[in-house]
Amino acid sequence: MSKFNLDKVVLKNYNHNHMKKIIALLLFATIGYQFTASAQKTEINSVHLFDLDAQLEQRYLDYIKRLNKVIKEIGYPKNYYSVLRVKSDDKSDEYRYCEIGHWVNETVYKAIHTNAKFLALKEEEKKSAVYINQQLYRRYYSLLSDH
């Protein structure tokens, strides 16, 4: 093989390996960006522990969806409620449900919870059978600001 052809092979292999590295780096950068962009940094979590009649569960979930929609509509799409429930075979007889509010900071928390549209929906729900009277409520603040 002539020196010229050998140079082409070496250059072709170099370009191929170089491109593989660039593609791998771009792939890792894209994945890292997706994790960073999708990670919701919240400073405050409000936690509600409560019980709910099984017949009212779907209505309650619909209410939470409406609250989340209002929160987004008033300009705070990174803040929301999520709802959890223990497994059906769990023997716990109280606090089987958990509602968690995810809030980016105190200012946003107050802005949402004093907004007229948000308050109107909360008041409307208090008049219904779904409103939770007996609940354990706590507001938790992040201890690790870099996570």
What would the pLDDT profile of 27-48 be if each residue is shown by its tens digit?
A: 333 433 333 333 456 799 999 9
- Residue 23 tokens read as 């593609």
- Residue 110: is its pLDDT beyond 50? yes
pLDDT of 44 reads 94
Q: Helix count (H) and strand count (E) of the chain?
A: 4, 4
How many CA atoms does the CB half-sphere of 18 hold within 13 Å? Answer: 6
Which amino acid is located at 113 in the chain? H
Q: DSSP 3-state helix, strand, coil percentages of the chain (rounded to 5)?
A: 50, 20, 30
Tens digit of pLDDT for each residue in 89-98? 999 889 999 9
Beta carbons of 146 and 99 less than 8 angstroms apart: no
115 vs 137: CA distance, rounded Å: 21
Provide the residue ranges of all domains of the chain, joining segments of one domain with +.
1-39, 44-141
Contact partners, residue 95, CB within 8 Å, separation at least 6: 49, 50, 51, 136
Classify domain 44-141 at the CATH topology level: Alpha-Beta Plaits (3.30.70)
